[in-house]
Structure 1
Amino acid sequence: MRNDIGSTLRELRQAAGKEAKAVARGAAMSPSKLSRIETGKATPSTIDVDRILTAIGVPDAVRADLVEMARREATEAVAWRFLRRSGFHHHQDSIRAVEAETAVQRVFQPSCVPGLCQTPEYVRAVLAPKGLTPEVLARTVAARLERQSVLFDPRKSFRYLITESVLRWLIVPPAQMAVQIDRITALSRLPNVRIGVVPLSARMTEVSSSSFIVYDNRLVIVEIPHAEISTTDPKDIDLYLARFSRFDRVSLEGDPMREMLAHLRDEFLRQRETS
């Protein structure tokens, strides 16, 4: 099957009259990676296949069939250690390509501030434990910060749900957490960004476990401690959309949410003064 999907992608590219370099660039991957996929030497992920087909410009029906084929055949869990070896900054480029094709992004985060909302200091603190070299760390931080420009595209919509515990954890020193809170507050005022905070006082009907991101109604990425899992199965997507809605119902947003953030920021500033 690996050879089948690789050769099919190559045939579609050639039928469209597109050079490999152009398709690789549009899919945010190296020409060598595209070559390995087309020749069956590498198994493409669902994200890889989706990006390649988008770059080629195939009809939606063909795209859906091939993405489903990749979903069935590819390993859906990609270990963080593999991403570390292949380059976290390259992974940031891959996610950026997915975000460029997404109209509505929904993010549930019980672990840390969502990546597109992070300050530079917070990004470094989150990535530092991953054992990256200083050069790779700098490139990965820069790639994540570059991704954040998509928030200002009025054609796109973002819905973030963050648990209150995330905003209280001292991932960075108190003064920097105050700056991080201010950034979230500022982003919440953008017309295409909705931010909700699930308060610790809310009556919960389920446990807030892993973080997940839903891209439109076509892809879900789930983050667990050792790996990143992606799925395009409609039943899985419906499950995560329903889960998102349940947390959404108990979240605070708008002025009540910003009032909570102001109290948290003041707490961090007081901690800075007494530390």
Structure 2
Amino acid sequence: MNRSELGPALRALREASGKEARTVARSAVMSTSKLSKIENGRAAVSVVDADRILTAIGVSEAVKAEYMAAARAEATEATAWRLYRRLGYHRKQQQIKAMDDTTTLLRIFQTSLIPGLLQTPEFARAVFARKEIGEEQLSRAVGGRLARQAVLYDPAKELQFVILESVLRWGLVPPAVMVEQLDRIVSVSRLSGVDVRVMPLAGFHADVPGHSFAVRDDRTVTVETVHAELVVTDPRDVDLYVRKFERFSSAALAGDDMRSLLEGIRDEFLRKQETGLERPPGCP
């Protein structure tokens, strides 16, 4: 099967399963019209779309592997953020949640922002507010992000985070919000299936961080650039990201050492709050 045949083949699978298009579309977190375009060959099938559709249909692992191989015929896919804006950022959060739900091992490397799964409601709101969307869309996007955080408490999941120390010091929000945010990370770091590590700024480093990325079960890597989200599926490329994550993970602070660093940064933000330093523009 080649990539051009994938859409009609997915339709044949769905029809053989006896499931209606609207039922599969709902489970796959997409509109019925989008599923129809995919099934009729009028829209390209991304790796993420194929994974969600096959999961919604409920095929065997062997069948899923065959179809996913066709979907991965192109090693890297890019989707511009403007398309996600049109879709609605809350829908994007639902799509990410669908991927997280089918992932056993999730590794997140962050060089620029607190990972979404660790964000407080106030921090998440500040992140989405930068996108200049209306209040309703903003609330739905924040709600979608917070709903994803249920995966932190799933005993079947293993979640690993490596965060640069500079991310924890970046003044995107007022000091009071950062204090709560750092407390949140410390709290989550004590969950049994969660491993949070911080790469300190001090000391000699044998590698450079580059950009943020997330690895899901050694199968796919998602990379956020300024203009688009990239999805990488070639096993050789995925392995590059896995090895980079492991190098930084082994060099980062973990456990009590990590929490001690966070508490020190937290205390610095507390002092800034008490002295009124670093108030955002327009604050009295």
Could you say which TM-score interval applies, normalised by the shorter chain?
over 0.9
Change (3 A) 1:20 1:202: farther
Residue 73 (structure 1) shift: 4.8
8 A contact 1:3–1:38 mirrored in 2:
no
Q: Which amino acid aligns with 1:9?
A: L
Query: Residues of 1 paired with 2:230 and 2:36: CA distance?
Result: 24
After TM superposition, the structure 1 = structure 2 runs for residues 92-241 of structure 1, keeping only pairs within 5 Å, are 92-241=93-242
* Number of equivalenced pairs: 275
CA pair 256-244 structure 1, distance change in 2 beyond 3 A: same
Three-state SS of the structure 1 residue aligned to 2:223 is: strand
Gapped regions of structure 2 (runs ≥ 5):
277-284
* CA distance in 1 between partners of 2:236 and 2:204 (Å): 27
Is the CA contact 2:76–2:231 (under 8 Å) kept in the aligned structure 1?
Answer: no
CA contact (8 A) 1:49 1:70 kept: yes
Residues 202-245 of structure 1 show CA distances to partners (whole Å, capped at 9, x for unaligned) of: 42222212111111121111111111101221111111110001
**Shift in Å, 1:2:** 6.1
Identity within the alignment, %: 53
Alignment match, 1:253: 254
Structure 1, 159-168 or 133-142: larger mean CA deviation: 133-142
- CA displacement, residues 33-89 of structure 1 (integer Å, 9 cap, x when unaligned): 211111122212110001101111223233223223223359701111111111111
Q: Which moved more, 1:217-226 or 1:168-177?
A: 217-226
Q: C-alpha distance in 2, partners of 1:96/1:254?
A: 27
Give the gaps of 5 or more residues in structure 1: none
Q: Does the 8 Å CA contact 1:219/1:237 hold for their aligned counterparts? A: yes
Aligned mates of 1:168, 1:106 — CA distance in 2: 22
Deviations 1:88-110 (A, max 9, x none): 11111111001001111100000
Task: Name the SS of the counterpart of 2:73 in structure 1.
Answer: helix
Residue range with higher mean Cα deviation, 121-130 or 170-179: 121-130
When structure 1 is superposed on structure 2, of 245-254 and 60-69 the one drifting more is 60-69
1:7 is aligned to 2:3 = no
User: Is the 1:68–1:232 Cα contact (8 Å) retained in structure 2?
Assistant: no
Distance 1:218 1:139, change over 3 A: same
**Alpha-carbon shift at residue 5 of structure 1 (Å):** 1.2
Contact kept? 2:76, 2:232, Cα under 8 Å = no
**Contact between 2:108 and 2:214, CA under 8 Å: does it hold in 1?**
yes
Moved more, 56-65 or 240-249: 56-65
Q: Find runs of 4+ consecutive structure 1 residues off by over 6 angstroms.
A: none
Is residue 3–residue 39 contact of structure 1 (8 Å, CA) maintained in 2?
Answer: no
Larger mean CA deviation between 216-225 and 173-182 belongs to 216-225
Question: Superposition pairs for residues 77-96 of structure 1, below 5 Å?
Answer: 77-96=78-97
Deviates more, 1:238-247 or 1:215-224: 215-224
Write the letter of the residue equivalent to 2:88: G
Give the counterpart letter for 2:162 in structure 1.
Answer: L
Q: Does 1:46 align with 2:37?
A: no
Corresponding residue of 1:61:
62
Please, what is the CA RMSD of the aligned residues? 1.5
The CA distance in 1 between the partners of 2:23 and 2:76, in whole Å, is 27
Amino acid at match of 1:18: K
Contact 2:11 2:39 in 1 (8 A): yes
C-alpha distance in 2 between matches for 1:140 and 1:202: 38
Give the secondary structure class of the aligned counterpart of 2:215.
strand
2:76–2:234 Cα contact (<8 Å) kept: no
